[in-house]
């Protein structure tokens, strides 16, 4: 897993990433015509809601000597095939469930195995005039999860409902949340305001212990909150608006969800080590890799446990069952 640091204006940060890509010999091929048409429609909406991210992409394309259209097609467009989207697990432990009364977050990011060695990156980001954050990504300007200096944690999981529309793709929305929001309430306001490309669940947790799961789709935004101090998202919808809609549900989504409530729910109090052990679990397929799905190209690429109130994350760069967590903090 690579580590990078970006700081400064959007143009300066884009240039820093772009020069790194150039040095690594990264070169995009011509964009798919359908993806580029869709990306151009999304570009108009990103320009309205997050023009600074387009500024980063422009600078990135210039510094890496990439075609800007190819950069747009990659960074603004989610895959049209839902089975090419990440299948993830994210959780939040509220103060009343935590053994020491302080909130805990955790997540496993599951995607194609070959992504891990090629582009999986741990990013320290210090945008001028915005919140600094520590986040993880497999795409250049976007983030899949992270914790900012204000104590807001964000993690995503795909829900594979039918439909896709021009909007802002989830990895850019996560970046917006980390850059701009200090609390769950601020994050909820942003998620209700921006147009969403497709269907995702965002888990937000802040330093006060408040947490929320936000399901987005063609029908709008729905929010749910912890049950008995525990909040879990995997890859099936749970809000009333979406639960009966046609969806592709990965075979391990319900087992992962149920297993985490089995391991962390009930009357017991939960500490950081218990969260790590839950994320390493094989019985419920929470920690997923080739030994359990020999023909599946997906697996857990990284795992994160953290304390929003104390501004640190511990990251396992690989299957958490076989990789030690390493502490990173502001």
* CA-based nearest residue to 83, from 244, 284, 251, 222: 251
* CA-based nearest residue to 108, from 326, 317, 330, 328: 317
Assess whether pLDDT exceeds 70 at residue 114. Answer: no
CA distance 148 to 311: 7
- Identify the band that residue 267 occupies on the pLDDT scale cut at 50, 70 and 90: confident
The residues, ordered by sequence, that sit 6+ positions from 25 with a Cβ below 8 Å of its Cβ are none
* CA-based nearest residue to 252, from 280, 287, 217, 279: 287
Question: Average pLDDT in the 210-232 region?
Answer: 96
Are the C-beta atoms of 17 and 141 separated by less than 8 Å?
yes
Domains of the chain: 2-75 (no CATH), 82-329 (3.60.60.10)
User: Residue 65 to residues 16, 30, 265, 320: CA-CA distances in angstroms?
Assistant: 13, 13, 51, 36
For residue range 299-325, list pLDDT tens digits in order.
889 999 999 999 999 999 989 999 999
Assess whether pLDDT exceeds 70 at residue 290. Answer: no
Q: Which residues of 198-234 are buried (b: 16+ CB within 10 A; e: fewer)?
A: bbbbbbbbbbebbbbbbbbbeeebbebebeebbbbbb
Residue 14 DSSP label: H
Most confident of 139-143, 172-176, 265-269: 172-176
In which region does residue 71 sit, left (phi positive, over 0), alpha (psi from -120 to 50) or beta (all else)? Answer: alpha
Question: Average pLDDT in the 63-90 region?
Answer: 84
CA distance 4 to 49: 26
């Amino acid at each position: 897993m690579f580590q990078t640091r970006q700081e400064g204006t959007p143009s300066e940060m884009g240039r820093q990433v772009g020069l790194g890509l150039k040095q690594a010999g990264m070169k995009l091929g011509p964009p798919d015509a359908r993806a580029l048409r869709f990306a151009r429609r999304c570009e108009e909406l990103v320009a309205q809601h997050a023009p600074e991210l387009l500024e980063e992409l422009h600078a990135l394309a210039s510094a890496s000597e990439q075609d800007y259209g190819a950069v747009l097609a990659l960074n603004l467009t989610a895959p049209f095939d839902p089975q090419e989207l990440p299948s993830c697990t994210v959780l939040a432990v509220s103060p009343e469930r935590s053994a020491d009364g302080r909130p805990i977050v955790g997540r496993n990011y599951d995607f194609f195995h070959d992504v891990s060695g090629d582009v999986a990156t741990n990013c320290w980001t210090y945008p001028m005039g915005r919140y600094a954050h520590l986040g993880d990504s497999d795409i250049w300007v976007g983030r899949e999860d992270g914790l900012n200096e204000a104590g807001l944690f964000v993690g995503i999981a795909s829900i594979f409902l039918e439909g896709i529309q021009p909007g802002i793709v989830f990895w850019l929305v996560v970046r917006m949340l980390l850059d701009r929001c200090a609390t769950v309430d601020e994050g909820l306001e942003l998620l209700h305001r921006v147009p969403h490309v497709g269907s995702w669940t965002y888990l937000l947790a802040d330093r006060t212990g408040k947490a929320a799961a936000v399901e987005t789709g063609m029908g709008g935004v729905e929010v749910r909150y912890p049950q008995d101090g525990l909040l879990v998202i995997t890859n099936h919808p749970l809000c009333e608006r979406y639960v009966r809609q046609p969806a592709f549900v990965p075979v391990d989504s319900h087992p992962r969800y149920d297993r985490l409530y089995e391991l962390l729910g009930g009357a017991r109090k939960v500490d950081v080590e218990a969260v790590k052990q839950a994320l390493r679990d094989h019985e419920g397929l929470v920690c997923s890799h080739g030994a359990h799905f020999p023909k599946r190209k997906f697996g857990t690429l990284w795992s994160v446990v953290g304390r929003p109130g104390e501004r640190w994350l511990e990251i396992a760069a690989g299957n958490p069952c076989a990789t030690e967590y390493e502490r990173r903090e502001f």
